[in-house]
Structure 1
């Protein structure tokens, strides 16, 4: 087989794997992996097959790709990785499957954040529970100057799910007094927004 035809075969398998992963065709993904399809092939936006599976919440496909050696750290053009996107979208089961594969906790999303910050902001309770098992930095500050706790308050609605994630990160040791760039603390933000239940949780954790 010539180099050109071998490359064409590899490219065809790459395209097929990306399409099958995005569509959740688990059997096809398994067959393509067994046939040697490149696991880290990317589409025009730099998205790997695993990232596309995460985006569509195809849990079985994601697990197959991870077990075959697909990386949770492959970064797309928009700076998403499978790990970061799983946090942002609340893919708790996929996050749990990624943990043994040592996701790189130092990679940042396009806002300079880690996987925990958007998971908290969106009130993804189950995802936050799993993320906290990874050793992730609870007090990481993103490019906006916000921690996960600040995002819970500033971008959340103070409802039951945001209360739950606030309690989870505070119980795990998040600093209740890390202020924003203007020196406004999470407790002050919560009070300003009338988020009384979240404010109580912050106070109970030593927030001032």
Structure 2
């Protein structure tokens, strides 16, 4: 029963309940029906205090569920800088990939999480990682973003981090060509200034 209590407390963000379940013998590696660990459930709900208790107890941020998500990968989706900082002391695998073959940086670029992108780039994560769609974080920001200010900022952050602005997608289409095709003039300007070509 203690494992179920731990999972429930983590899901609900009950840090005291998490601590009590652990003291009662609950396993940090307990899984719910989808293979999610307590730490992943806490990360999904952005329950920072509950996650901190789990990390301090030795929870692994890299264990993946039946969709290949992990506590660390989830932060790229939620964009939570606080959760990212909470998980870093646990030693997340920056090369761990989700079901799309992407590292945590890529969904953050797609969703416009500016502050998260700024923070995760400080970890040394691979700025040019290519997922199974043939896209980098830069390509996702250009292709799946709407060209608005957050995406302009993300493109700037990626450029500053050394992203290859001419790394084309699987069809050979460059970030600049995608930006031009989408009418993302500000992004196109930034890419050109960084040496991009169509």
TM over 0.5: yes
Shift of 1:59: 1.1
Aligned counterpart, 2:38: 49
Partner of 1:69: 58
The equivalent residue for 1:118 is 107
Match for residue 168 of structure 2?
Answer: 179
Correspondence for 1:196? 185
Question: What SS class does the counterpart of residue 170 from structure 1 fall into?
Answer: helix
Match for 2:139 among 145, 150, 153? Answer: 150
Report matched runs for 1:12-91 at 5 Å: 12-91=1-80
Q: List gaps (5 residues or longer) in structure 1.
A: 1-11
Structure 2 residue aligned with 1:96: 85
Q: Please, what TM-score do these two structures have when normalized by structure 2?
A: 0.97
Structural RMSD (CA): 0.9
SS at match of 2:69: coil
Using the alignment, how far apart are the partners of 1:73 and 1:122 within structure 2? 22
Structure 2 unmatched ranges of 5 or more: none
For residue 203 of structure 1, report the CA deviation from its aligned partner.
1.2
Contact 2:59 2:90 in 1 (8 A): no
Say which SS state the counterpart of residue 60 (structure 1) adopts.
helix
Give the Å deviation of 1:35.
Answer: 2.9
Q: Secondary structure at the match of 2:142?
A: helix
Pick the structure with greater CA Rg: 1
Please give the secondary structure, in 2, of the residue aligned with 1:31.
helix
Q: Who is 1:165 aligned against?
A: 154
TM-score with structure 1 setting the length: 0.92
The 1-side partners of 2:155 and 2:29 are apart by 36
Q: Distance in 2 between matches of 1:94 and 1:69?
A: 16
